[in-house]
Structure 1
Amino acid sequence: MAGIKAQDDQPEANAGMLGRLARTRMWTTASMALERFWPLVLPLLVVASLFLSLSWFGVFRLMPDWLRIGTLSVFGLAALAALYPLRFFRWPERASVDRRIERANELEHTPVLVQADRLTGSSDGFAEALWREHQKRMAAKLGHLSSDLPRTGVPERDPWGLRTVALLLLVTAFAFSAGPFGGRISDAFHAAPGAPPVPPRIDAWVTPPPYTGKPPIFLTADANRQTDLFEASEGSDLTLRVTGGSGEETLTYSPLDGDTLDIAPQGETTAPPAQRAGVRQFASKLTTDGLLMLKSGDTEIGSWAFQIKPDTAPAISFIGEPKRALNGTLELAYQIQDDYGAVSGKAGFEMLEPQAPNARPLYGEPEMPLALPRKGAKDGAAKTSRDLTEHVWAGVPVRVKLTATDASGQVAISEEKEFRMPERPFTNPLARALVEQRRMLALDANRRDRVLDLMEGVMLRPDETIPNPSHWLALNSVFSRLKQARTDDDLRGVADYLWQIALAVEDGDLSAAERRLRQAQEALKNALENNASDEEIEKLMNELRAAMQDFLREFAERAQRDPNMAQQMPQNGQELRQSDLEKLMDQIEELAKSGAKDQARDLLSQLQDMMNNLQAGRQQRQQQGQQSEMRQQMDKLGELMRRQQEMMNETHRLDQMQRGQRQRGQDRGEQQGQEGQQGEQQQGQGGQMSPEELAEALRQMQQGQGQLRGDLGEILKGLEGMGIQPGEGFGEAGEAMDGAGQALGDAQGEQAVGEQGRALEALRKGAQDMMQQMQQAMQGEQGGSEEGGRQQSSDRDPLGRPRATTGPDFGDTVKVPDEIDVQRAREILDAIRKRLGNALSPEIERDYLERLLQMR
């Protein structure tokens, strides 16, 4: 062939092929340019990413100026050095691009170059036809062309992948820059500003006095920021703490009716160096309404308005007249009113009989602290009984007034009452003589010689007046001690010894047992009022049980020896059973340990009344005829109510058990839906009773409920036979019992409990109505008054329980929590103790929780 001549035009048939070839050349050119440019520009990008990372991390902002300028210079030099390799960049030539395409597609005989070449020299028709045929055949190989990916060679130059570190720092720094501590790019070109002033943090709270039982009020809490007026108790402690700031903060309090008061800081302490600020704390007491304002210079930082709730003074007054209890103790009924409850009270006595001008009494007035009403009681009624028969003022006309003091020291004084101090009656003439001589000596020590003469007269004929030799020896000893006494302490010892001898002459060993019992009761009462620990209460309860057993044993032995006393024991259904006392003391201990101290004190007072009435041994006469029948019907009604209460508790227990089994059945059903039919054998597990046993128990409860309904009908028939018309409460009780029986039959435990509670309440209403009708039908129930303001027919039997003529106790006197209430109280106490044991709890919260435990 003579030569090759270029062809300027391609056939129309190859137009599509040339278009694909052009696009392939374009992508290949870009790929080759990138693989040549990327290694040259990568150092510059690394330097830039490191600069941006340091800027966004806020490093330049923390650097001193000399270090910042030096680092910036290093980055500038590194950037210039990274620009130098860019001068070696060359754009890919067309021939190189074509050869890259041929290598990428593994084409032989350079078919891409053939399409761009052209014939040179002289040309003829045969050569041109031959060249076009050659181009056509080479073009057939270009049907599927693809560009090649760039091969920068960077991984070979950076086998450790250090370039990715710069990228990771850049991404992390960019995310960090959006935070409050992130930096900016301009930080590298600006001098670091001085340390900005720390914005002051304000913490303010008001702590009410502990006796109020109220939690602290956090003035700066988010929930209180929109509060315009805060209500605080009088005497609350205000505390405000300023952390940071300029240190020139001032705090003022502006009462509504007075001049502005400046509250000085308690002192400044240096905070950690990182804070570069001081801590200033202000403290004061809130006594009047006003505005609290915190300023920094002339700028107001915050203000809080207060309305102070004053602590009103307590009020105390008598409820009825002071009276002598059946056993001779002094009973005072009174009412104490105070907004937060009184903390102490006492009775003050004044002797009405005039004494000699030069009299030298050995004893002061009797001391009688008052029991306080339970917290939260609306009426504030309380009662205190104390045995003052041993005091030398016993049997003397006195004037008494009551005083009560609240936690803030305010004192209330009641009106005065005049009465004769209760005294112990002595039937033995010798005991009466000794008590009279003791009183004479104690009221005026100057009459010692007169007492010696009287005692000498008593001992003149011991064979006739002192049949017991041990008593004569004791009198001889006290006579000698009285002659040798020189000081008032010696005379007081003689007076105490005379009292012990008189008790021994009158009662023998029973007085010692009675004294131990009263001391144990008083110790337990004081422990309950002082919130003693569970261990101390358990110890005192054991002492009370032991003293109770000793007293009852001595009382029974004396009753066997004295027929007259045996006749004075309670009759028929009024016996004092040992099991009743044990159950009552167990309830007192359980309530005290569970935190229900008020209910425990009420039951202890009831126990004291029972023992006081038993010690008095007052004989009760049985009612005859119709009154006896009424009493029997009311006793049956009381027993019916007790059985209904027990059935309600049992129904509640079975309902809880049934709910637990239903919940476990649902859990097993969900598990079976996920795992197939496995686990069917576990249906009867996890409960104390199987479903069949529960169903049988509910059926038995239904039968028992039906029996109660029948017993109620018999009682109503008996009352109608005596001419007493049953009230509406009994009809409502019958309907509720029927509903409870139907609910039990349908296994609806919750509904049954509600109906049983409604039946119990209706029974109480009906019983009270019946009692009023019986009292109107009876005659001679109210007699004259005896000594000490007592009536011949009390509403209590010798054991402190309601008389049979007035019916049983329907639960209106003392509210004793049931097992559900006690369990709930335990859960609350456990939750408080658990929270208190958390070392991360704030100190203010821990103080509040400790006050809650002390208020049990």
Structure 2
Amino acid sequence: MDASQTPTIEAPGLRRKISVAWMALAWEGLWPRLVPILAYAALFVAAAHLDLFAGLEPWTHTGLLALLALALGGLGWWELRDFAWPAREDAIRRLERDSGVPHRPLVAVQDRLAAGQDDPMAAALWDAHRRREVERLAGLGNRPAHPGLARLDTWALRLVPVLLLIVAVASAGGWRADRMTAAFTPAFPPPPPVVANLWIAPPAYTGRPPIYLDVNDRDKVLRVPVGSKLAGFVDDVRGRKPPLLAIDGKTTEFTTVGKGKYQVEQVITEGKQIALQARGDEQARWKLHVIPDLAPTIEFSRPIGVDKWSTKIEYIAGDDFGVKGVQLQIRLHGSVLGDDALSSDEEPEVLRIDLPVAGNTRKVSDTFIRDLTSHPWAGLKVTVMLFATDAIDQKGRSAVETFLLPERVFNDPTARALIVLRKALTRDPKGYRADVTDGMRMIQVKPESYRDDPVVQLGLRIGAARLAQNGDKENITETQKLLWDLAMRLESGATSEAEQALEQARQELRDAMQRNAGDEEIERLIQQLYDAMARWQRELAEKMKDPDERRRMQEQAEKMDPNNTITGDDLQKMLDKIREMAKNGDREGAKRLLEELRKMMENATPMMAQPGQQRQPGQQRGQQGQGNQQGREMMNQLDRLSRRQNQLLGESEREGRQQGQQGQRGQQGQRGQQGQQGQQGQQPGQGQPGQGQGQPGEGQWGEQQRGQQEGLRRQLGDLMRRLDENGMPMPEALGRAERSMREAEEALRRGDPREASRSQRRALDNLQQGMGDMADQMRQRGPGNSQDLAEIEERERKGEDRDPLGRSDGNYGDAVDTGTDKIPLELERQRSREILDELRRRAGEQLRPKEELDYIDRLLKTY
């Protein structure tokens, strides 16, 4: 075997001992070189804790730090310039020296047999030798390193930096990270901050205020409507690049408007986060919630109603930010069209009516009432849809309703024939054009059918000739209008124009009130309505001078409901009431009265010749009108009786409380001042102590109160007797009220105001119940005219859900403001004054408890 193949024999732990010897050599060579460097660092730390760098100019501090860094680098280079890491052989030699073994056993075990392994005897001897050397390796050991600093630093100067460091840390109160930071950081002035003035302006139609973006409110949730505009300015003097506005990572660069000044405008349509980036960093961040603008909704609130000639459509519309407009669209139903009209390629005709809307109202609840009898589609089946539009022109549509468009009832046979021709021309203009032409010519050749009216004759001749010559859409429309005008002339003569002007003036006034027009416009339209009414009455009076026309109108009046007879005075009073309510701000009430005016005009008989003309008492209509007038007067008398009974009830309750207070003071006087009772003439056990002086006044009050109560009872008896004479049913509640009044009289005669007040309260309740019963009876019998019914319903409606001051009990949140809680009726105003007077009277009574006086004071401040 070759000597190079001699296996190496390792002793246990030999590698670790060699490594330790190597580290000892390295430490002995490195530590003396590191001590000066560490001493330099200790001196710097000590100087930092002693705050020696404070107050230095920024650039001086920076230069000093640079010099210290260079010095540290030079010192490190100088100390480590000749340092070399020890070799393995040096570590082996160090281990052998530290162990004190002769003959270098670590080298011996690594020797190899020079003669080779051919001689078994030599190989065995060599192997035995190596094993003996290995056994010697077990005794090897390491000694500690000896850097030899004591020999190098005989004066122990290395301890001076350590002592200075200890003193500096102690004087600084411990380790000071802030002073260390200040030592390494020159006190350069900070760069000017980024000044951002940003805001979000919602669209004007939303009515929401702008939102200011505060850079300190990180992650604040911003709730903004879609379409809002983010705008603002940023001042960044030190910025090298314009700032960036990021919405969900999509950045927009600010526009430079000057040195260090930037601006931005961005419309927000979507996103969940807004960030402002400047100088390469994120300066602010906000969370974003975009509120979508939903399409408006609109629906029919009730089925479409037809009131004689008028069409009544009630609807409700809403939008999250406000309804801008409402449009009514009417189309002819396919079932009434002829074959030619159905097969035509032309776009179907649509009647569009824009309904008035008061500004951007979130919720609109209104009623559309319009006389559409003059339209060619009157009397035909139509389909109706409602469309609502918001501020960004989003549209919402209602369901489709189908109904028969009301038509005017013509009593003149020729007028009816003309309307039939107009209907045929509407159903199928091409198919019936020739038949309508022939029909107009047949009527034209019979002058006696239209009372030899030259205007009608000329109109029929020209209309027939024009229709036969040309059948385009424009000519068809003109012919339809001509047929309507001729029919209206035959039916009501020239008065139709005045009546149309009156209806137009009424509708314009109602639309102006609906859109909350100004007071000047409302006053102008009210005056226009006055003028139209006067013109209509004058022309009607002129028409009544013709005997034939008077006879015809009398015949027409006999066919109508006699309860609907009205006079010019009734209309004038209605107009005055409308003007008063409009001036007082109660526009909703004025709109209701305008609707009642329309009904009165529709139901009025031709017998109301002129303003101031009264009904004939000998006629049945006059008798019924007089009976209805009496019913109205009885209702008003019951109202007055109720108010007076309420006043007597209040007086009785006040007298009862005063007697109770006097009784309490008298009892105190009896306990504290027995002699005072003798002076007053009071005997123990008689009356109430302390009331001797007030008895004469009390008896006088009781007699006076009893007389007033007796007078009210007699008035109620007269009213009940009149009801019986007129054949009107007697409400049982009135009989109970009369008995309660008698009981109140007896209690007042006895001088017992408390018992009297209880009876008076029962009487008041029965009077109010009797008023309700009479109103129901008048409804069932049918009031004298629609004005009577309106007054009854308005009286009851005003009394529902209201306090005595006429204020509505419930109009909260997003409820629709109907305007009915602005101006109370006269009855409510009188009750309000009575309550205020009573509160002021009680506030002046200083003998009342303090809690009650405070409560009254709060009520006075509230009202």
Under a length normalisation based on structure 1, what TM-score does the superposition of the two structures give? 0.50
